[in-house]
Amino acid sequence: MIPLPTGTEPVRQFAEVLVMKIAIPVCGNRVSTVFDAADELLMIDNTPGVSPEPSRAFWRENTLIGRTTQIRELGIQVLICGALSGAVARMLEAAGVQVIPFIRGTVDEVFDAFCNGKLKGSHFFLPGCVPCEGQGPQRRRWRGSGRTGGEEKP
Amino acid sequence: MAADMRLNKAQDIILDSIADGVFTVDHQWRIMSFNRAAEQITGVARAEAIGQHCRDVLKAEVCEKSCCLQKTMTTGEPIANKTVYIVNAKGQRLPISISTALLKNEEGAVIGAVETFRDISIEEKLRKTIEETYSFEDIISKNHRMQKLFGILPDVANSTSTILIEGESGTGKEIFARAIHNLSPRKDKPFIAVNCGALPDTLLESELFGYKAGAFTDAKKDKPGRFKQADKGTLFLDEIGDISAAMQVRLLRVLQEKTYEPLGSVESTKADVRVIAATNRTLASLVKEGKFREDLYYRINVIRLVLPSLRERMEDIPLLVDYFIKHLNAVQKKNITGITDEALACLMSYDYPGNIRELVNIIERALILCKTGMIHPHHLPEPLYCYQSVDDGRQPLEVMSIKDMEAIFLTNALRRNGWNRLKTARQLGIHKSTLFRKIKALHIQIPSTGNPS
């Protein structure tokens, strides 16, 4: 069972809109190292005023496209996952899903860190994937955090 | 102690001189050594990799459920040349070939395992080129219009509806159609492409629907048409806007009734084919001009995808150039390391009437002329080498700064959009205030006739 964050304050760390439905592709009780290899999808409904209820969904299809479609159909707003190819991330982001990739750790600690705004800590990122201050694909993924890594001040 | 250190250093030197990635793990799957090639392939620095769980560093799909190192440690049997996919630190999905073996000390006791791996993405690229099995991962873009297309791609691929792809010549309509096919449930069935504009009417009819023996002189035996060949798969009809009125009627019937008659046949044949049509013209205008049947237009135009021209997605040029250099390096067996900023600035100042096809040809030409190292401006065709600078005076490329190049790029982008800043910002995928800031900082002069919005 996932330890729930204290209170039910809206979670705004990564998304500009209120985050309500978060999903984590998992292997057992751990964030799957690679998105493609996840056994199932753990979903947490974090609607303010409602007690967050975790639930699990098995993948309907084993294809990337099937999984992407399922994530969209489930109304997921934020996907916290392990290693994910840029092409899939682009597809999910284009469909309005905010992707926080290259995360590792147990579901409990990752969800807790996300709710408390501490997921930016380097120990949650897979080796070599910590968002850096310079330009880079990892940094650009932090789109909802208010940091605009894709642009540089003149 | 000193001797041990010398030995370790010697081992590191030997490991780093190996072209394949090599790492060793202990019994807890913690990485003990990690060579330079492994750093390059995975994108993880040695210092970060040492002591980490190998699964977190390699990021292979097999790591979770069928770890090769674990199999070797359990059975003692080595594994050789197994192809797996990893996601590197840049988010690129790479095919690698891995081999594993036990690691033993002088006494023969198992102290861990060793994994060697080789990046085989070049071989994969060549295979894709030969087999034309393009996926959506081969469509490279960060343009906002392309991103929107990526967003609807799963739904488009999963449906069975007819698709109309519109876009200028060279924008990659066929690659897009192939990517849709390869994402769809029909991916294991044939993808058949027909260029409707390349064949006269009578030939096109027999090409699409086939014929029976005796249908005409020299028709000695039955010939299956493209609809038959694409059974349960996808039929890609390129340049659909160029077909005759008679052919339009026949095609309309197939799309409506899902049946057709081969030439000389009295029986209808069922067509279980998904049709993707493409044109470099605007079909709606052809309908207005009376050159294209309205009913066929509505039958084709169930899902309409419009591919932007390359000049509308100039921000993709660095990505595309990088991709084509790697691809052509593999095809031509060259080792061009990249492109200089000056040459890239030349490429970004051009309008590309031939779109991506023209860009590929420019890079191919540059690779022929460039023997080694980086592509320089003089490897590009002359019209690109000489370009207009911001103040309309020609100046040698060598004195260009990054700021100058940015100013040229933004000026060209603004000019292309009729000096409309909002439109330009949207096209470049940046916020309007960022563009305003850059215009001010780079002293770009907007003509008084320009659209101020």
CA distances from B153 to A125, B310, B356 (A): 29, 20, 21
Which of B48, B136, B148 is opposite residue A87, by nearest beta carbon? B136
Nearest by Cα to B208 from B195, B219, B221, B218: B195
Query: Would you give the end-to-end CA distance of chain A in angstroms?
Result: 49
> Which burial class, exposed, middle or buried, applies to B169 when counting CB atoms under 10 A from its CB (0-12, 13-18, 19+)?
middle
Tell me what the mean pLDDT of segment B123-145 comes to.
76
Give the chain A residue nearest B407 (alpha carbons). A154
| % of chain B beyond a pLDDT of 90 | 38
For residue B405, the model assigns a pLDDT of: 75
- What is the distance in angstroms between the Cα of B98 and the nearest Cα belonging to chain A? 17
User: Residue B105 in 3-state DSSP?
Assistant: coil
> Among candidates B12, B93, B112, which has minimal Cα distance to B54?
B112
User: What is the Cα–Cα distance from B159 to B207, expressed in whole angstroms?
Assistant: 26
For residue B373, the cross-strand partners are B336
Alpha-carbon distance A73 to B102, whole Å? 45
The pLDDT score that the predictor gives to residue B1 is 59
Q: How far is A9 from chain B (nearest CA, A)?
A: 30
Rounded CA gap, B165 and B60, in Å?
A: 35
Cβ distance of A34 and B155 shorter than 8 Å: no
Dihedral sign, Cα of residue B316, residue A94, residue B137, residue A44: positive
Least confident range of A33-42, A95-104, A121-130, B291-300: A121-130
Nearest to B251 by CA among B235, B233, B267: B235
All structural domains of chain B: 2-119 (3.30.450.20), 129-308 (3.40.50.300), 311-441 (1.10.8.60)
Residue B288 CB contacts under 8 Å (≥ 6 apart), including other chains: none
CB atoms within 10 A of CB B111: 14
**CA gyration radius for chain A?**
15
Q: Is the pLDDT of residue A149 over 60?
A: no
Domain ranges across chain A: 21-139
Contact with chain A for residue B124, Cβ under 8 A? no
From the candidates B29, B66, B150, B158, which should be mutated to test the interface with A, based on the most A CB atoms within 10 A?
Answer: B150
Beta bridge partner(s), residue A78: A22, A98
For A29-88, write each residue's pLDDT tens digit: 899 999 988 888 999 987 777 777 788 999 887 777 778 888 988 999 999 999 998 888
Q: Answer whether A85 sits within 8 Å of B441, measured CB to CB.
A: no
- Cα nearest neighbour of A105 on chain B: B56
Which residues in A44-73 are b (16+ Cβ under 10 Å) and which e? bebeeeeebebeeeeeeeebbbbbbbbbbe
Chain A residues inside the 8 Å CB shell of B91: 83-86, 89, 101, 137-138
DSSP code of A68?
Answer: H
Of B240, B270, B277, B233, nearest to B262 by C-alpha is B270
pLDDT at A142: 35
Q: Is the pLDDT of residue A154 over 50?
A: no
Distance in angstroms (rounded) separating the CA atoms of residues B39 and B37:
5
Interface check for B437 against chain A (CB to CB < 8 A): the answer is yes
Chain B: closest CA distance from residue A41 (Å): 15
What's the pLDDT band for B308 if we cut at 50, 70, 90?
A: very high
A146 Cβ under 8 Å from any chain B Cβ: no
Q: Find, among B100, B102, B104, B103, the residue nearest to B116 by Cα.
A: B100
Of B447, B448, B373, nearest to B415 (Cα)?
A: B447
Provide the strand spans (E) within B173-248: 191-195, 210-211, 223-224, 234-238
Chains A–B, number of C-beta pairs less than 8 Å apart:
111
Q: Which residues of A touch B62 (CB under 8 A)?
A: 37
Instruction: Decide if A128 and B437 are in contact by the 8 Å CB cutoff.
Output: no
- Is residue A137 over pLDDT 50? no
For the beta sheet containing B110-119, the strands, ordered from the edge strand earlier in sequence to the opposite edge, are B31-34, B21-25, B110-119, B93-104, B79-87
Which helix (H) or strand (E) element contains residue B208?
A: helix B201-209
Contact of B185 with chain A, judged by CB distance below 8 Å, is answered with: no
| pLDDT digits 0-9 by tens, B198-252 | 888 778 888 899 887 776 767 777 888 899 999 999 999 999 999 998 899 989 9
Q: Which amino acid is at B231?
A: D
CA dihedral (B226, B228, B233, B234) positive or negative: positive
The domain A21-139 is placed in CATH, from the list 2.40.50.100, 3.30.420.130, 1.10.10.10, 3.40.50.970, at 3.30.420.130
Q: Determine the residue among A30, A33, A143 to mutate to test chain B binding: the one whose Cβ has the most chain B Cβ atoms within 10 Å.
A: A33
The C-alpha atoms of residue A95 and residue B152 are separated, in whole angstroms, by 7
Tokens of B360: 């590929």
Q: Are strands A78-80 and A21-27 parallel, antiparallel or unpaired?
A: parallel
**pLDDT tens-digit readout, B359-411:** 999 999 999 999 888 999 889 988 777 554 444 444 444 455 677 778 778 88
**Chain B closest CA to A49's CA: distance in Å?**
31
Q: pLDDT of B71-95, one tens digit each? A: 998 998 999 999 999 999 988 889 9
Query: Bridge partners of B101?
Result: B114
Residues of chain B found within 8 Å of residue A151, distances taken between Cβ atoms = 430-431, 434
